[in-house]
Amino acid sequence: MDGLFITLNVLILLALISLLVYMQRKHVSFSKRVFAGMGLGIVLGAILQVTYGSESPVLTGTLDWYSIVGSGYVRLLMVIVVPLVMVSIIRAIINLEKTKELGKMAGWIIGILISTTAVAAVIGIGSALVFDLNAEEIEVGQAENERAQALEERYAEIEDQTTPQRILNFIPSNIFLDMTGDRPTSVIAVVLFSILIGIAVLGVKRKEPEHGELFVKIINSFYAVVMRLVTLVLRLTPFGVLALMANMIANTNFAGIIQLGKFVLASYVALGIMFVIHLVLVGFFGLNPLTYLRKVIPVLGFAFTSRSSAGTIPLNIQAQRESLGVNEGVANMSATFGATMGQNGCAGIYPAMLAIMIAPTVGINPLSPEFLIQLVLIIAISSFGVAGVGGGATFAAIIVLSSMGLPVGLAGLLISIEAFIDMGRTALNVNGSMISGTITSKILKNIDMKKFNEKTNIVESTSV
């Protein structure tokens, strides 16, 4: 009987996918189809949880099938990240007139990412204090104890690594290994290798023009193929969002959210305030925040449902280049750097809130200026190397809490609402990377304002 219900649920998903295909054939815009997929996924996930219950084998079996569409789409995005990043960055660098432009580009992007993360930490601290969050108020059950033990074990693995050693992990020693995504910092290692290749090509073009031009032609050919591949994968976004959202809603622990409602509210208030600050920054640099917002919302919607900054890189780059008019090199660098460092949500707000919550449990005054200044500085420095995949926030929390002398295991108290909060954090992370690219391109005066001001939305070319 369970098999019959699972089959019925799979047929419902296929019917909704068919509806999205029909919308595409009717030339409904890409962004509207993405939001339609999101809305349908929310309704479907809620119906599944109410009908079967979170512990039902029918629900488990159904979501396994749904993962073929949802997680399968994320995997396709991940598989194009390395070729997209490599070819795009090499091509962008070999088109630079002077290598010093590369330094300015990287400096502004990293500076914006890290400085906004420090601001995010301050916002997280403020939210935790305003809502009077305290880890002692949370009931500890079996799941929380198991999570705490897992965090302690993970801390033991990285305990002896200093911040310089973690930064050293950015530098690749085996680029083929990093191309497989074997390490948390593999993406940034690929970026650094691509930059070296690009700089080498600039030298070859000066000294051996014939070889340089041949390599440029090869890169341009690869670029054309990779961008076509990106377009093919991005066409699947509405279907992926539908399945991801259905899985997320069906698996959400609503009882935990209600029980820890104050913590959820405090987290989303902090995320919302930081998001507003992002828009203020856009306006400060002479760009229309509403135009920016309208064009990035579909990307943020996918980041919200997938909970993967790294998986959002292709959408991020495409949106910056095609919709916001950001310079190609800046778009690639900001998207990839932003998936690995300076994440406003995971590496800024989250560790700051946890530190404020946990400090009173060990007799530390969270209002102490010395404690607060040290916390913000540690968060800014340690935000280098946060992996842009699920678990990055946990890694950041372990680093910050251990550096502040706070018990790492207490971070496991929020396990029941972790996924729900992580969606908002990931969306903020991705928006932070897009902000860094947009502002950097504006500062360097290589943004295409005509594209930025066009009324078309993100990646409409995926529908053709």
Are the beta carbons of 179 and 400 closer than 8 angstroms?
no
* Domain tally, the chain: 1
Q: How high is the pLDDT of residue 184?
A: 66
Return d(Cα 209, Cα 240) in angstroms, integer. Answer: 45
Of 394, 227, 238, 392, which Cα lies nearest the Cα of 301? 238
Q: Which residues of the chain have pLDDT under 50?
A: 141-142, 144, 387-390, 460-464
Q: How high is the pLDDT of residue 166?
A: 66
Of 429, 421, 406, 416, which Cα lies nearest the Cα of 357? 406
- Structure tokens, 338: 């932003």
Q: Give the range of the structural domain holding residue 299, as residue numbers without chain letter.
A: 2-463
In tens, the pLDDT along 142-183 reads 454 555 565 555 555 555 566 677 667 778 888 888 888 777
Query: Can you give the C-alpha Rg of the chain in angstroms?
Result: 22
What residues are paired with 409 via a beta bridge? none
Burial state string for 70-93 with b = 16 or more CB within 10 A and e = fewer than 16: bbebbebbbebbbbbbbbbbbbbb
3-state secondary structure (DSSP) of residue 341: strand
Are the beta carbons of 82 and 182 closer than 8 angstroms?
no
Return d(Cα 436, Cα 159) in angstroms, integer. Answer: 31
| CATH number reported for the structural domain that contains residue 395 in this entry | 1.10.3860.10
Give the DSSP H/E element, type plus range, for residue 452.
helix 449-453
Return d(Cα 126, Cα 144) in angstroms, integer. Answer: 26
Residue 137 burial (CB count, 10 A): 12
| Alpha-carbon torsion, ordered 283, 286, 288, 289, to 10 deg | -20
Answering whether pTM is above 0.75, one says yes
Burial state string for 174-201 with b = 16 or more CB within 10 A and e = fewer than 16: ebeebbebebbbbbbbbbbbbbebbbeb
Q: Is the dihedral of CA 400, 401, 405, 408 positive or negative?
A: negative
Q: How high is the pLDDT of residue 280?
A: 96
Return d(Cα 329, Cα 369) in angstroms, integer. Answer: 40
Return d(Cα 328, Cα 91) in angstroms, integer. Answer: 9
Q: How high is the pLDDT of residue 462?
A: 43
- Structure tokens, 24: 């595409």
